[in-house]
Amino acid sequence: MGNLVEIKKLSKNYFNKKALDNLDLNIEEGKVLGILGPNGSGKTTLIKILTGLLRQSKGEVLIDGHNVGVYTKSIVSYLPDRNFLYNWMTIEDAFKFYIDFYSDFDLKRGEELLDFMKLGKDMKITSLSKGMTEKLNLTLVLSRKAKLYILDEPIAGVDPVARDQILDAIIKNYDSNSSMIITTHLVRDMENLFDDVAFLKDGGIILKGNAEKLREEKGKSIDEIYKEIFSK
Amino acid sequence: MDFNDKLPIYIQIMNYLKRKITSGEISECDKLPSVREFSSKLKVNPNTVQRAYQELEREDLVFTKRGMGTFVTEDDDVIMKLKKDTAKEVISNFIGEIKGLNFDDDEIIEIILNEIKKED
Amino acid sequence: MGKYIKYEIKGTYKVILGILAIVLIATTVLYNYTAKKEFSIIIALASMLIFGTFLSAFLYIVGSFRKELYEDRGYLTFTLPLTGNQILGAKLIVAFMWFFLLGSITVSYNIFMLAKTSGEMINFKELLSLINGSEIISFAIMILISGISTLILIYFSMALGRVTLKNKKIGGMWFIIFLVLSTIIAWIQMKIVTISPYYINLKDWSIVNSNISSLFQIEMGSSSLMFSTGEYSYVNILGFVTNIIAGIILFLGTGHIIENKIDL
């Protein structure tokens, strides 16, 4: 299978600080890639470049053969690490918004997920707790039949029950025709979701590979490898 | 099912299913849960479950019926072989440990017979 | 883009209608409680109210654009499969619509209240002939266009400020850019008006040269974009065209920044 995402020699500088440094990474079609690293390692910078919220200083990013732009935005379903819906919206409005702008939105799937998350359509965005916001955002993002899902810290700061629901929703709605990128520093909770992992440190990838192979080679869980790399 | 081992997840899933088969919890011709169902239950990537199923299929322990799902083999011999292989593994572990206690072979057999009688 | 216009309206209509409600109540109060006093005072106060309406709507619209650039909602807006020009165009169309709505309703309401409190019968025929006058309409359109180009200039300044200054929320930066750019544009416009002193009469569409016509020399300096004598209003043709061209360039510039340069 081919690569859905190809990242070549990607750098991003903020004044004199390097957020990403000559980074190479490919994401295969149908695979779930975990980008692992502590806060400040460059995960969010990388994600923002893929979603078109940031521009690279150097290097190339191709998604489905295209530079980041209107087309890639139409095939990427992005879960930011914050509440990004407009404050005036109800959940119903947010659904309509997604239906209007994303032709790949599957209303049936959306309604099932909403039900599963125990959210009601008449709720106001501003009245939701952090966990509920995360669940709603994930509902919207997963209800699209996108080619690429990008989930930025999907379980950070939510309670264990919501965490289980979120993991469940991701597994149930992931389909093998799509690729998925998940960033996290909560490796233990999420490691079983990944086909491939990339460890990001100071804006560069210091280890990447197939998760199972890494477990086999190192005789360690991904979580243990993570701790080994980042506790130094 | 916990995955805190250092083994690849797909091998752990295979071992888990093998134990279910040898203990008879899952018997011949039973349908295994679908990849999606099982991956959601175990909270692992569906591709991993898929791989475990494929490896089991390669070992002839399961087979897929197109459009129906994955089933445990109908072949008694294969299951018997799995049982024997598992037994060998258990025994070799056991022998390794008991030899460490410095018994000779006759003593070991005697201990085993006594224990089995007690169980009955 | 139509869809984005829909959501722009949905997101802003409550505040705009709120402003409208407040100004209509204030206007009513104004006419009822000061009815016995001088009409000139009432009209002055009413004009201030209308100005205030526009100013608050303007500030609100500018503020909501700022929120796209500096707050989390930008994560949704700028990952939509839309071009920068589509997003910007939708925002401007909705702003235009609101200004038009606010302007026509507040002015009509004032005329209505004026007629009502003055106790005279309204002469609708006269009123209509007044409104139908191409002069007033062209003048209103001209003002709306200037308002929109100011808005574009502000959007451009904000977008540019966001791109050049990356360490977040130095709020005043865009305003400095705005002042500098307005000065430059006004200067260019003045030069062009001086070079090409041809004005169009908004009432009968006749073209006059302000250097030749003695009327102009008396009324004002010869380098003004727009002015009116007692009877006629005049707009400098090339000056106005410059205004529109500047607006278009800034529009495309802002669209480009939004689509290709923005770092959230």
How far away is chain C from the Cα of A224, in angstroms, using its nearest Cα?
34
Closest CA to A33 of A213, A152, A163, A197: A197
A182: number of Cβ within 10 Å:
22
Residue extents of the structural domains in chain C: 1-132, 134-264
* Residues near C109 by beta carbon (within 8 Å), at least 6 away in sequence: C24, C27
From the CB coordinates, do chains B and C have 3 or more pairs under 8 Å? no
Q: Widest CA span of chain C, in angstroms?
A: 62
Go through the domains of chain A in sequence order and give each one's CATH number.
Answer: 3-230 (3.40.50.300)
Given a cut of 70, is residue C127 above it in pLDDT?
Answer: no
pLDDT category of residue C175 using cuts at 50, 70 and 90: confident
Residues C254 and C68: beta-carbon distance below 8 Å:
no
Residues from chain B contacting residue A195 (CB–CB below 8 Å): 45, 47-48
Residue A85 φ/ψ, nearest 5 degrees: -80, 155
Over range A61-68, report the average pLDDT. Answer: 93
Strand A148-152 relative to strand A76-79: parallel, antiparallel, unpaired?
A: parallel
Given a cut of 60, is residue C124 above it in pLDDT?
Answer: no
More confident residue, C131 or A58: A58
Residues A149 and A178: beta-carbon distance below 8 Å:
yes
Q: Who among A14, A48, A88 is closest to C11 (CB)? A: A88
Given a cut of 80, is residue B110 above it in pLDDT?
Answer: yes
Instruction: Return the residue of C nearest to A50 by Cα.
Output: C79
ipTM summary value: 0.89
Q: How far is CA C136 from the centre of its chain?
A: 15
pLDDT value at residue C218 = 46
Residues of chain C above pLDDT 90, percent: 24
Over range C189-208, report the average pLDDT. Answer: 78
Q: Widest CA span of chain B, in angstroms?
A: 56
C67 lies within 8 A of chain A by CB: no
The mean of the pLDDT values for chain A is 90
Count CA atoms closer than 13 A to A59's CA, side-chain side: 22
The pTM of the full predicted model, rounded to 2 decimals, is: 0.84
Q: Who among C7, C75, C263 is closest to A82 (CB)? A: C75
pLDDT value at residue C180 = 92
Tallying the residues shown for chain A, one arrives at 232
Closest CA to A155 of A120, A204, A121, A191: A191
Asked if A192 and B6 come within 8 Å (Cβ–Cβ), the reply is no
pLDDT value at residue C229 = 63
Over range C113-139, report the average pLDDT. Answer: 63
- Any alpha helices (H) in chain B, and if so which ranges? 9-22, 35-42, 46-58, 76-99, 105-119
Residues A43 and A37: beta-carbon distance below 8 Å:
yes
Given a cut of 90, is residue C139 above it in pLDDT?
Answer: no
Q: Encoding tokens for residue A204?
A: 């560069």
Given a cut of 60, is residue C222 above it in pLDDT?
Answer: no
Q: How far is CA C199 from the centre of its chain?
A: 22
Over range A53-68, report the average pLDDT. Answer: 92
Given a cut of 50, is residue A41 above it in pLDDT?
Answer: yes
State how far the alpha carbon of C165 is from the alpha carbons of A196, C177, C241, in Å. Answer: 37, 12, 32
C188: number of Cβ within 10 Å:
13
Residues A143 and A113: beta-carbon distance below 8 Å:
yes
Q: Which of B75-84, C91-100, C202-211 has the lowest mean pLDDT?
A: C202-211
Residues from chain B contacting residue A211 (CB–CB below 8 Å): 9
DSSP string, A150-186: EEESTTTT--HHHHHHHHHHHHHH--TTSEEEEEES-
> At CB < 8 Å, which residues of chain A contact C?
14-15, 48, 51-55, 69-71, 73-74, 76, 78, 80, 82-88, 93, 97, 100-102
Given a cut of 70, is residue B72 above it in pLDDT?
Answer: yes
CA distance B16 to A88: 50
The mean of the pLDDT values for chain B is 86
* Residues near A223 by beta carbon (within 8 Å), at least 6 away in sequence: A187, A188, A191
pLDDT value at residue C231 = 64
